[in-house]
Amino acid sequence: MKKRTVIITGANSGIGKAASLKFAMEGHTVIMACRSLDRSSAVQNGIVAASKNENVYLEELDASSPASIRAFCTRFRDRYGKLDILIHNAAYIDHGSPHRVNDDQIELTFATNVLGPYLITILLKDLLAASDDARILNAGSNIIKHYFNPKLELELDNLIGAYTGDKPFSVYNSYRNSKMALLMLTFRMADEFKKDGIRVFNLQINGAKMSKETLQKFTLPWRMIARVQNLFFRPASFMAGIYYEICTSAAFSETSGKLINHRLEIMAPSKNNPGIADQIKQVTGAGIYPNYADRTDMQEKIWMLCRELTVPE
């Protein structure tokens, strides 16, 4: 297989770390984009040692900060000048935490999980367009199942953190909304980038064992729930293998703008008024997603919102 250059965000733990190892073992050039160089350099060294691949690099990136993203993309361009695969794996998942914003006063879940991937992609798009097989993978979640509820709407004001106080803030709900917005962005981006030959995918992750460090980010009740879930989840390396297949396999070289499940199947939208059977299928990741994600008006709104929020001053 042709050797590719891949960026993996949030590569110091969990699925991102396992995916970095997988790409390194297969001989590709891996850029681990992590927010703490201190905490991540031991992980990088471990991956270089295990894979015997010297082309594993560590770069600083805070995916919630437009300033950090711009600095990262400039550095990346100068140092590597080539990009084939961009994996938006990093996510703010700190269940139970209070309302937080980034330096631009944008709510942290939306800033990290939606706006960050958008801005990194836009800033590196020309490098991807120059690749002969460019692929973008967005890490999704089966938490979007809540959108089977026809009453649930993405509130774009709340996405940017207009916390009114009449509804209690919840990272869980923000995370749920961010993953739906990211899926919509996947579809919109795939349309936009078709002419450039860049393929865009979203993987619906329905569980992967979470590290001790990740569990520590949750407040106690959420940590207890996650510990129980962990008993049933597959190791992160399993999902890393799925990342690898989507980003390199010939099976995905002619398609784009799809939501893929952990069995590497392309998922389909639900019918209107989905019944309980559809919901059960969604929970088990069996192949159906809420057709709310196909609303092109909302896809366009999110695309435009991301554009407006990232216009340089």
Using DSSP, state whether 264 is helix, strand or coil: coil
Checking DSSP bridges between strand 5-9 and strand 85-88, what pairing results, if any? parallel
Nearer of residues 196 and 223 to ligand NAP, judged by Cβ = 223
Among 10, 66, 274, 290, binds ligand NAP (CB under 6 A): 10
Nearer of residues 37 and 266 to ligand NAP, judged by Cβ = 37
Nearest to 4 by CA among 255, 261, 246: 246
Residue 46 touches ligand NAP, criterion: CB under 6 A: no
Checking DSSP bridges between strand 29-34 and strand 5-9, what pairing results, if any? parallel
Residue 51 touches ligand NAP, criterion: CB under 6 A: no
Residue 216 touches ligand NAP, criterion: CB under 6 A: no
Residue 55 touches ligand NAP, criterion: CB under 6 A: no
Distance CA 155, CA 264 (A): 31
The residue behind tokens 């042709």 is 2
Residues that bind ligand NAP (rule: CB under 6 A) add up to a total of 31
DSSP 8-state class, residue 125: H
CB of 92 to ligand NAP, least distance (A): 5
Angle at 120 between CA 156 and CA 266, to 5 degrees: 75
Tokens of 225: 């729930």
Q: Are 85 and 135 in contact (CB under 8 A)?
A: yes
Distance CA 272, CA 71 (A): 44
Stretch that binds ligand NAP, among 9-17, 129-137, 159-167, 250-258 (CB under 6 A): 9-17
Stretch that binds ligand NAP, among 52-60, 85-93, 265-273, 283-291 (CB under 6 A): 85-93
Among 24, 200, 236, 293, binds ligand NAP (CB under 6 A): 236
Stretch that binds ligand NAP, among 59-67, 129-137, 166-174, 295-303 (CB under 6 A): 59-67
Which residues of this chain interact with ligand NAP, rule CB under 6 A?
Answer: 9-10, 12-16, 34-36, 61-64, 89-93, 112, 139, 141, 205, 207-208, 210-211, 213-214, 233, 236
